[in-house]
Amino acid sequence: MAADLADHADRRGLAHQVLERVVDNVARSTAYQRVLATCYRSPIRVGSAASTSSVLEYASRGLRPSDERSVQQLVEGQSELSGARYHDRYRLGNSYFYPDATLIPEMGAAIHSHRRYLAPADWNHRAALLMPFWLEDQVLGQISVDDPRDGASPTPAVLASLEEVASVAGLALWEACDIEELTESHVLFEFLAESGVTGVIIVADGRIRYANSQAERMLGYDGPTLRNLVPWWSFLHPDDRPFAWSCDQQSESGVHQIRAVRRDGRPVWLSLQASPMRFRGQRASSLQFYDISDRIALEGQLREKALRDPLTGLRNRSFFYDTIHLEVNRCQRYKRSFTLVIADLRDFKAVNDTLGHLEGDRVLVEVATMLQNELRESDWVVRYGGDEFLLVLPETGGDLESLIERLQRGLASWASSNLENVPLGIDFGWATWSPDEPRPIAELLKAADDVLYDRKRSRAATNRQAIEDHPLPETPTRPEDG
């Protein structure tokens, strides 16, 4: 028996400490001059007249002595209160606003304001605003406020501020009534929710119901503005908003990489874990996230380096094979063709053998620049390997002779000015992909390669025939050479 009495005293003492902090916070930070916070002996279920409990402990600020006695009588008499007092008709977010407190079922102690207001359409002397301490769809107690200095009805910003106080207090009350160390548990909750590196947002009924300070910092919003965003997913990048719609349908869970847009317009990448939950009696989604913008940027830089040729700056062979299927899909969708061109430097070995490999590298860079300058912005130039290049020409057919001649003239002009007495040319082969006759990329490459070597053989045969038709004159032999 003594142990039971001690247990009961401990519960009341710890609950009273929590409630005292709550009423102090509300009285100091809001316009309400009268505050009453109560803790029930056991949770009651919202909306259920069969779920009842009495008041275990309370704390107040601004009550007149007669009002204080009414509350004490309610507590000492252990009057039963039920979940029927929380009626959906009067629900505002996670709070309840009654324009006339007599509408509250089983109201208990009737405490009305003792002054009259100039704007009765707003707050009146019989109005009541209740903020429950939620535990899923049950209530551990409530905050009741009255007598606002400005006489105004509660705004969304005021409700959000009060509901945040109630949320923290609800957790502390639950732990306190389980005989946990109040100070330690409260500090631990504040550390986890407010001092960690993870942003936390809870979404219920299409609104942000809770956002910790890390979420505000990452997204660049102050708390009230973030909680009052309409729609709540306005901070998400437009391309990633389908994720939010899945959250609203309670069908999204797991870890995602999504983009947010800060209030200042700067994009930020988030690693976000979504989990369904119950929050203050409603189905909700918990979004926990942290900023991975630096990691995404580094991965992008590494990916860019991996897909570019370090010498010429052109896209490389890996990029071609990773990306060419996108071009094929695009051409299929829009019924367009594209041409794949293989370019091979002729006599490049002579450049390396005669001028050295450093000069050979310079030649490759200059050839890459020349090719890019002569093509359209929509065309790709890829260093395929060694002295070979690939050109991907969207929306072109098979008639490329004029382009090929222009590229060959451009290279010949550059070589004559920069490579004195060292031959250098360029050969081309090409094949066209058509939506009417689609074929695999490997087959397209082989067809272009076949054209390249046919043109090489044709050019070599032409050169041999020219030499036979116009042989060089023989050099006379001097007697002393004999």
241, with CB counted inside 10 A (0-12, 13-18, 19+), is middle
Distance, CA of 249 to chain centre:
18
Q: Are residues 317 and 429 in the same domain?
A: yes
Q: Would you say the C-alpha torsion 210, 215, 219, 221 has a positive or negative sign?
A: positive
- pLDDT band for position 179 (50/70/90)? very low
Q: Phi/psi of residue 434, each to 5°?
A: -130, 140
What is the rounded CA–CA span in Å between residue 444 and residue 454?
Answer: 15
Q: Are 167 and 154 in contact (CB under 8 A)?
A: no
Asked, for residue 59, whether it belongs to a domain, the answer is yes
CATH of the domain at 62: 3.30.450.40
Instruction: Choose between 406 and 152: higher pLDDT.
Output: 406
Same domain, 203 and 254: yes
CATH code, 216: 3.30.450.20
CA distance 395 to 362: 32
Whether 125 and 73 map to the same domain: the answer is yes
Better-scored residue on pLDDT, 168 or 454: 454
Q: Do residues 79 and 203 share a domain?
A: no
Residue 319: which residues within 8 A CB-CB, separation 6 or more? Answer: 307, 308, 382
Based on the domain organization, do 264 and 388 belong to the same domain?
Answer: no
The lowest-confidence range among 247-256, 317-326, 470-479 is 470-479
Dihedral sign (CA 360, 361, 367, 370): negative
In a domain, 338, yes or no: yes
How far is C-alpha 135 from the chain's CA centre?
A: 29
Please tell me whether residues 66 and 143 are part of one structural domain: yes
Q: What is the mean predicted confidence (pLDDT) over 297-322? A: 87
Give dist(CA 433, CA 329) in Å, integer. 12
The length of the chain is 482
Q: Which domain holds residue 221?
A: 196-295
- Residue at 163 is within a domain: yes
**Of 11, 203, 42, 207, residue with least CA distance to 135:** 42
Per-residue pLDDT, 79: 80
Tell me what pLDDT residue 340 has: 93
Q: Write out pLDDT tens, residues 235-269.
A: 999 988 888 777 666 555 668 889 999 999 999 99
Amino acid in the structure at residue 447? A
Helix, strand or coil, per DSSP, at residue 48: coil
Residues 363-420: pLDDT tens digits? Answer: 999 999 999 998 998 899 999 988 999 999 998 876 788 899 999 999 988 888 888 7
The pLDDT of residue 7 is: 45
Question: Tell me, what CATH number does 329's domain have?
Answer: 3.30.70.270
> Do residues 417 and 393 share a domain?
yes
Among 150, 183, 216, the domain-final residue is: 183
**Angle 45-48-53 (CA atoms, 0-180°, nearest 5)?**
60
Q: Are strands 267-279 and 338-346 parallel, antiparallel or unpaired?
A: unpaired
Instruction: Tell me, yes or no, whether 302 lies in a domain.
Output: no
User: Quick one: pLDDT band at residue 479, thresholds 50, 70, 90?
Assistant: low
Among residues 272, 295, 318, which one ends one of the domains?
295
Judgement on whether residues 204 and 66 belong to the same structural domain of the protein: no
| Assigned token pair, 372 | 């890019």
- Asked if the structure places residue 42 within a domain, the reply is yes
Tally of structural domains, the chain: 3
Q: Averaged over 136-154, what is the pLDDT? A: 83
Claim to verify: residue 464 and residue 363 sit in the same structural domain:
yes
- Per-residue pLDDT for 477 more than 70? no
Q: Do 220 and 133 share a structural domain?
A: no
Answer yes or no: do 147 and 286 share one domain: no
- Spatial distance between the Cα atoms of 206 and 254, rounded to a whole number of angstroms: 20
Would you call 38 helix, strand, or coil by DSSP? Answer: strand
* pLDDT tens for each residue of 423-452: 888 999 999 999 888 899 999 999 999 999
